[in-house]
Chain A
Amino acid sequence: RKEVEQDPGPFNVPEGATVAFNCTYSNSASQSFFWYRQDCRKEPKLLMSVYSSGNEDGRFTAQLNRASQYISLLIRDSKLSDSATYLCVVNSASGGSNYKLTFGKGTLLTVNP
């Protein structure tokens, strides 16, 4: 299994749709999980951290399943401005001297009018 693997996409959805992204990770010792958003040719920016209990921020919901080593991101009522690449990011640290953030290759989302 790859360290961090995401749906390859691309996803094309109409405005108002609900879209879900999935991500799996291989290192069971991983400690921190994130979803980043990257607009074309721009730097990645944090969308949400992902906590064990699941967390929600407006239209966005992130979930973590440690047993299955699986992370998800749900976007409800999608807007044109949600069009971007979504990156799953995992901290695979197994100790203070072995910190490593591994990025998935990203899933491109296009929201159409």
Chain B
Amino acid sequence: EAQVTQNPRYLITVTGKKLTVTCSQNMNHEYMSWYRQDPGLGLRQIYYSMNVEVTDKGDVPEGYKVSRKEKRNFPLILESPSPNQTSLYFCASSLTSGGRTVDNEQFFGPGTRLTVL
């Protein structure tokens, strides 16, 4: 089944304790992205990757890191989480980042609900 998976789905942690949220897709998509969703603010892009070894900042990259060593994986790293990073996080992927509209459709993972105390 074509899908985007994220782990963990739920995480409660404490300030300053490094964590990684994994994201994996099995559709051979070039483009992957991380978003956070907060009430009243909608979905905001954190980082994105056009392809392997190519990553760039989105709208709210502060406090986050990413890597894209393999096409299928795009982990999100919080080196020193803080309470303002408490949020619902989504990973997404699409076939490409340009060209036909149909190729830009983003498929989302199920989300990771993170609470930082």
**A93-B97, A96-B98 given; A46·B105 CB < 8 A:** yes
**A34-B105, A49-B105 given; A101·B110 CB < 8 A:** no
Interface bin, chain B: 20 to 34
Chain B positions 47-103 with a Cβ under 8 Å from a chain A Cβ: 48, 50, 58, 88, 90, 97-98, 101-102
Kindly report which residue of chain B lies nearest to residue A104, judged by CB atoms: B42
Determine the distance from Cα of A41 to Cα of B87 in the docked complex, in whole angstroms. 12
CB–CB B97/A96 < 8 A: yes
CB–CB A91/B104 < 8 A: yes
CB–CB B97/A105 < 8 A: no
**A101-B33, A106-B42 given; A43·B109 CB < 8 A:** yes
Interface bin, chain A: 20 to 34
CB–CB B104/A103 < 8 A: no
Given contacts A31-B98, A89-B106, A93-B97, 12 further A-B contacts (CB under 8 A): A32-B101, A41-B88, A42-B110, A43-B90, A43-B111, A91-B101, A97-B50, A99-B31, A100-B45, A103-B42, A103-B43, A105-B42
CB-defined A-B contacts under 8 Å, sample of 8: A32-B104, A42-B110, A43-B109, A43-B110, A93-B97, A99-B31, A101-B33, A103-B44
| A positions within 8 Å CB-CB of B | 31-34, 41-46, 49, 51, 87, 89, 91, 93, 96-97, 99-106
